[in-house]
């Protein structure tokens, strides 16, 4: 690394009073290593994407996303297809990618670890969806993308409460959704063989996972998921039963979840989702914790498309 842009979210996470000090420590780590580094503060949603594009144009060879998974998500949009490397320093509420890379530590320590990280090409997911105006749109994702209850959860997170309560707010809203949602069904079509045939299943929740470990209470949710995989690891919930949802999630928290006819683990290069003919209500779609829009959706993998700084000894 010779020239680095540090992009940070001033309102990410709970501890805003410590954030300025953390950013200063990170800058000092790189400057002491003889690396030119400059910090850029995000403003409105989407500004991290713009700042990352600017850094690429100005010749930076690495960009540090300092925040949560939302900040990482925005930066990724500008780095896919380039040789500019992405580094992650956890400063947010949800830090799944940082956890997968073994970077859950004090910001300065995480920054020092990145000094010895090796750039490597990884694969990202891409989600095609319908935006809030009804137009087709697409985003890349690096942690996970979901349709159904998880996207509904993300849509209900109040940013002010999120800063005050942190991860606890996720648990509160998850319980509210479990207690009140009808878990409406939609259709998911995936390749059945090499002849173009489709297998169609009815599901109430679909989650495409890219990381091996989410950290926190969920840890390894989709065995076999990896940033190096050229296929999608999909959790398909083929049930509307609250009891079965609860049983699976409690088992997942305990690290003892299994897959069967109710919750199936699928491995596929792509999948298409559309609204069920009996359901007129819109179903939310999210990627890396960011609510995007609604069905119809297509999910796929973009192989070896992102350069990621991977710490020594880590197999994401």
pLDDT band for position 294 (cuts 50, 70, 90): very high
- What torsion do the CA atoms of 46, 77, 284, 240 make, to the nearest 10 degrees? -140
Q: What is the CATH number of the domain that holds 176?
A: 2.60.200.40
Q: What residues have CB less than 8 Å from 208, skipping those under 6 apart?
A: 125, 127, 141, 144, 145, 146, 232, 233, 234, 271, 299
Alpha-carbon distance of 46 to 140, in angstroms, equals 14
DSSP 115: H
Same domain as 261, residue 216: yes
What's the chain's Rg over C-alpha atoms? 19
Q: Would you call the peptide bond into 296 cis, given omega within 30 degrees of 0 as the criterion?
A: yes
- What torsion do the CA atoms of 65, 230, 257, 70 make, to the nearest 10 degrees? 20
Residue 93 lies in a domain: yes
Please report how many Cα atoms fall inside a 13 Å half-sphere around the Cα of residue 24, on the Cβ side: 5
Same domain as 269, residue 183: yes
What's the pLDDT score for residue 290? 92
What's the pLDDT score for residue 132? 87
Token pair listed for 120 = 């490597």
Which of 116, 148, 167 marks a domain boundary? 116
Number of Cβ within 10 Å of residue 267's Cβ equals 13
Count of structural domains within the chain: 2
What's the pLDDT score for residue 12? 65
Same domain as 273, residue 193: yes
Same domain as 86, residue 136: no
Q: Which residues of 269-305 are buried (b: 16+ CB within 10 A; e: fewer)?
A: eebbbebbeeeeeebbbbbbbbbbbbbebbbbbeeeb
Residue 254 lies in a domain: yes
Q: What residues have CB less than 8 Å from 234, skipping those under 6 apart?
A: 190, 206, 207, 208, 209, 222, 265, 266, 267, 268, 271, 299
Same domain as 148, residue 57: no
Same domain as 242, residue 192: yes
- Contact indicator for 190, 271 with CB cutoff of 8 Å: yes
What are the distances in angstroms from CA 307 to CA 47, 78, 198? 21, 12, 33
pLDDT band for position 235 (cuts 50, 70, 90): very high
Helices (H), the chain: 16-32, 47-57, 69-79, 96-100, 107-115, 149-155, 159-165, 167-180, 242-253
How confident is the model over 99-109, as a mean pLDDT?
90
Residue 312 lies in a domain: no
Which of 62, 90, 116 marks a domain boundary? 116
Is residue 196 classed as helix, strand or coil in its secondary structure? coil
Q: What is the CATH number of the domain that holds 17?
A: 3.40.50.10330
Residue 239 lies in a domain: yes
Alpha-carbon distance of 295 to 284, in angstroms, equals 7
What's the pLDDT score for residue 38? 95
What's the pLDDT score for residue 17? 61
What is the chain's mean pLDDT, rounded? Answer: 89
- Contact indicator for 307, 295 with CB cutoff of 8 Å: no
pLDDT band for position 301 (cuts 50, 70, 90): very high
Residue 283 lies in a domain: yes
How confident is the model over 120-131, as a mean pLDDT?
96
Which of 60, 82, 116 marks a domain boundary? 116
Token pair listed for 94 = 């949800």
Same domain as 88, residue 147: no
Does the pLDDT at position 141 exceed 90?
yes
Please report how many Cα atoms fall inside a 13 Å half-sphere around the Cα of residue 161, on the Cβ side: 10
pLDDT band for position 14 (cuts 50, 70, 90): very low
Please count the residues of the chain.
316
Residue 308 lies in a domain: no
In percent, the amount of the chain with pLDDT more than 90 equals 63
Residue 310 lies in a domain: no
pLDDT band for position 282 (cuts 50, 70, 90): confident
Same domain as 167, residue 72: no
The residue range of the domain holding 164 is 125-303
Same domain as 262, residue 181: yes
Same domain as 290, residue 175: yes
Residue 135 lies in a domain: yes
Same domain as 111, residue 136: no
For tokens 């996470």, what's the residue? 13
Same domain as 147, residue 105: no
Q: Which residues of 198-214 are buried (b: 16+ CB within 10 A; e: fewer)?
A: eeebebbbbbbbbbbbb
- Contact indicator for 6, 66 with CB cutoff of 8 Å: yes
What's the pLDDT score for residue 64? 96
């Amino acid at each position: 690394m010779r020239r680095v842009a540090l992009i940070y979210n001033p309102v990410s996470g709970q501890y805003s009073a410590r954030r300025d000090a953390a950013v200063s420590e990170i800058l000092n780590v790189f400057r002491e290593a003889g690396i030119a580094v400059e910090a850029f503060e995000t403003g409105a949603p989407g500004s991290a994407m713009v700042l990352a594009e600017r850094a690429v144009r100005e010749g930076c060879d690495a960009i540090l996303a300092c925040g949560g998974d939302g900040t990482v998500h925005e930066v990724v949009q500008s780095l896919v297809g380039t040789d500019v490397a992405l580094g992650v320093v956890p400063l947010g509420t949800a830090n799944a990618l940082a956890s997968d890379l073994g970077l859950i530590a004090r910001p300065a320590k995480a920054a020092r670890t990145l000094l010895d990280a090796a750039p490597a090409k990884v694969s990202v997911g891409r989600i095609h969806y319908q935006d809030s105006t009804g137009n087709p749109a697409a985003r890349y994702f690096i942690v996970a993308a979901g349709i159904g209850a998880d996207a509904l959860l993300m849509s209900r997170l109040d940013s002010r409460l999120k800063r005050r309560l942190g991860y606890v707010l996720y648990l509160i809203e998850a319980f509210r959704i479990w207690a009140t949602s009808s878990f409406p069904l939609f259709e998911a079509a995936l390749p059945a063989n090499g002849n173009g045939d489709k297998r169609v299943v009815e599901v109430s929740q679909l989650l495409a996972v890219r990381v091996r470990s989410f950290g926190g209470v969920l840890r390894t949710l989709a065995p076999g998921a990896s940033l190096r995989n050229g296929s999608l690891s999909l959790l398909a919930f083929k049930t509307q039963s609250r009891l079965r949802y609860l049983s699976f999630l409690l088992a997942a928290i305990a690290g003892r979840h299994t897959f069967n006819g109710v919750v199936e683990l699928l491995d596929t290069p792509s999948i298409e989702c559309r609204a069920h003919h009996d359901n007129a209500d819109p179903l939310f779609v999210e990627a890396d914790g960011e609510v995007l829009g609604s069905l119809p959706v297509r999910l796929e993998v973009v192989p070896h498309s992102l350069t990621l700084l991977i710490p020594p000894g880590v197999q994401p």
